[in-house]
Amino acid sequence: MKMPSTGVVSEVVIAIVLLSLSIAGVRRLRDQIGTLESWRVQVVAVDSYLPSRSPLFATLGGITSGGTGAAMLTRPPGTRYFVAFIAHAASFRGDVALWTGVQQALAPRGDVRLVGYCDHPGCEGDPAAGAKHPPFAVIAYTDYRTARVLLHADADRQALVLDGDLAALGSVGWSERSRPSELATAIARLM
């Protein structure tokens, strides 16, 4: 039996080495692509208000719209849900009237707390003009992450429905033409 020449054996050895290196390279490339994809998902998730199991915000607190002090909103006994929305300076009274109606419609449940956030430091308007204080917390300044997510949701005209741990259950679309009873029904469906 004739033995293969050393040239053929060398070529086979080189082919096997190159094949193993290419397999290892493909595996590393796959891992790197996976890492890049996870980074992309994290970047997309920074502003996301989509439903999730993890808390969307660290807190619902901030500085009150009157600038009178900090409002660290804790979960009162019996509160299982929060609704967070932007109250617009240009339509503040109308927004407050709408969300007051939503709060009244949800009141029989007894487990929902509304939290409004100003889109402008002076969103309560001129107190001398007889502006009423809303029946829910209104926050003018909040932490960066909370503000960013709320502004992202507001750009889509959405209010966020959160569980007691501040995880997003979903969102409901609204406008100044929305009916409080319809908003309350949409909110209740997410709970």
- pTM for this structure? 0.69
**Residues of the chain predicted below pLDDT 50:** 41-44, 126-130
Quote the pLDDT of residue 52: 66
Q: What is the pLDDT of residue 53?
A: 67
CB 124 within 8 A of CB 65: yes
Residue 129 burial (10 A CB sphere; 0-12, 13-18, 19+): exposed
Max Cα distance, the chain (Å) = 109
Give the start-to-end residue ranges of the domains of the chain. 1-45, 62-190
Q: What is the DSSP string of 78-121?
A: T--EEEEEEEPGGGHHHHHHHHHHHHHHHGGG--EEEEEEESST
List the one residue out of 146, 138, 153 whose CA is nearest residue 89. Answer: 138
pLDDT of residue 161: 92
What are 5-32's pLDDT values in tens digits?
667 777 877 878 777 777 877 777 777 7
d(CA 117, CA 29): 45
Q: How much is the pLDDT for 49?
A: 64
**How far is Cα 155 from Cα 141, in angstroms, rounded to an integer?**
18
Q: What is the pLDDT of residue 21?
A: 72
Query: Which class is 62-190 in CATH?
Result: alpha beta
**Whole-number pLDDT of residue 164:** 84
